[in-house]
Amino acid sequence: MLGVIFFYVFAAAVVVGALAMVLTKNLVHAALFMAGTFLMIAFLYILMGADYVGAVQILVYVGAISILFVFGIMLTKRDRIEDSNRFNRYAFPATIVAILLFVSILLTAIGTAFQNAPAPTGDSTIQTIADIFLSDYVLAFEFAGILLLSALVGAIVIGQGQLARKTRLRGTTTLEGSNGGEK
Amino acid sequence: MIGLAHYLVLAGLLFCIGLLGAVAKRNAIAVFMGVELMLNSVNINLVAFNRFLHPEFLGGQAFAIFVIVVAAAEVSVGLAIILALYRRKANTSVDEIDLLKW
């Protein structure tokens, strides 16, 4: 019974936070609503017995990605922050498409008879997930590491500006020039 | 009792809200937020299917973690691209960035 109440409370918080994120006109408020929505989704994971996924969600989404978004907002200047999150000219057709898609998902999800399994025992899932990562999905696990490394290098290369590239080049040339002068 | 359909409807609603944000927003950072919301709704689906259909094998949760990894990589590269675009064109509106539009 408590699980039912928790589900409806967290689900309402998720939907309200997501709607506020999309509808607010202030981009910084949108980022904060996004962080709150991610936190409520993490609670939903824990409610489903997926404690490790919930912890990763809090660490990665709430802790890292939301802060990265705030950095992105702060590093790009705009005229007025109160009016920074407007809809474009496709707002009306996009709303129609979103509502139609939701209605179709709703009809499909309600109309399908799923065989709901009994609740899990409540053990920690970390041991099982670690076993899966290092046995069945070990190739995908290694590729995820390579992907993260390449994303790190790519973000540094793309994110450093023309100015940083020029000063670095100038630095190497002056260093070589001073070495040549000593000789 | 809360079943699989409840979580599917919630994830579908979240996906549609994220779609609205990704398609109909003017600022590129807001578009990115919509994409993140859509990825999160897919994660809810993965974990819910895992919990209600095959709770003995945690492949769905492992895939949710893979999705989180890919989303983190995507956000870091995407925000770097937005910053590079801002440095070049001095705004982040997706209406103005139409260099490759025919």
Which of A32, A34, A123 to probe by mutation at the B interface, max B CB count within 10 Å?
A34
- Asked if residue A3 is part of any domain, the answer here is yes
Of A7-11, A71-75, A159-163, which one has max mean pLDDT? A7-11
Q: Residue ranges per domain, chain B?
A: 4-89
A157 and A69 within one domain? no
Domain of A34, CATH number, reads 1.20.120.1200
**Pair (A14, A94) in one structural domain:** yes
Separation of alpha carbons B76 and B94, rounded Å: 18
Contacts of A64 (CB under 8 A, 6+ apart): B72
B100 DSSP assignment: T
Residue A180 has pLDDT above 50, yes or no: no
Q: Is position A80 within any domain?
A: yes
Average pLDDT over residues B76-81: 92
Q: Is residue A123 part of a domain?
A: no
Please indicate if any CB of chain A lies within 8 Å of the CB of B31.
no
A80 & A144 share domain: no
pLDDT at A94 over 60: yes
Q: Are residues A24 and A103 in the same domain?
A: yes
Same domain, A19 and A83: yes
Q: Band of the pLDDT at A85, cuts 50, 70, 90?
A: confident
Out of A50, A76, A102, name the one closest to residue B92 (CB): A76
User: Which residue, A112, A128, A153, sits at the end of a domain?
Assistant: A112
User: Is residue A129 assigned to a domain?
Assistant: no
A119 inside domain: no
Residue A32 lies in a domain: yes
Tell me how far apart the alpha carbons of residues A105 and A7 are, in angstroms, rounded to a whole number.
Answer: 20
Q: Which domain holds residue A50?
A: 1-112
DSSP track, chain A: -HHHHHHHHHHHHHHHHHHHHHH-S-HHHHHHHHHHHHHHHHHHHHHTT-HHHHHHIIIIIIIIIHHHHHHHHHHS--S-GGG-S-B-TTHHHHHHHHHHHHHHHHHHHHHS---PPPPP----SHHHHHHHHTTTTHHHHHHHHHHHHHHHHHHHHHHS-HHHHHHHHHHHHHHHHHHHHH-
- Separation CA A14–CA A44 (nearest Å): 9
Q: Which residues of B touch A90 (CB under 8 A)?
A: 23-24
Q: What gap in Å lies between CA A129 and CA A118, rounded to an integer?
A: 20
Look at A41 and A160; give whichever has higher pLDDT: A41
pLDDT tens digits along B18-67: 999 999 988 889 999 999 999 999 999 999 999 888 888 888 999 999 99
pLDDT of residue A172: 55
Do residue A100 and residue A64 come from a single domain? Answer: yes
Residues A36 and A92 in one domain: yes
Q: Specify the pLDDT at position A175.
A: 46
Query: B89 in contact with A at a CB cutoff of 8 Å?
Result: no
Is A155 inside any structural domain?
yes
Mean pLDDT, residues A82-111: 89
Cα–Cα distance, B70 to A35 (Å, whole number): 18
Spatial separation of the C-alpha atoms in residues A66 and A32, rounded to whole Å? 8
ipTM > 0.85 for the complex:
yes
Report the number of distinct structural domains present in chain A: 2
Predicted confidence band of residue A168 (pLDDT cuts 50, 70, 90): low
Please give the mean pLDDT across all residues of chain B.
90
Tell whether A76 lies on the interface with B, counting CB pairs under 8 A. yes
**Of 3.40.50.300, 1.10.540.10, 3.50.50.60, 1.10.287.3510, which CATH number belongs to B4-89?**
1.10.287.3510
Residue A120 lies in a domain: no
Are residue A3 and residue A70 in the same domain, yes or no? yes
Interface size A-B, in CB pairs within 8 Å, comes to: 232
Contacting residues of B for A136, CB less than 8 Å apart:
59
**Per-residue confidence band for A57, with pLDDT thresholds at 50, 70 and 90:** very high
pLDDT confidence band for A170 (50 / 70 / 90): low
Please tell me the distance in Å from B97's CA to the nearest CA on chain A. 13
Residue B86 has pLDDT above 60, yes or no: yes
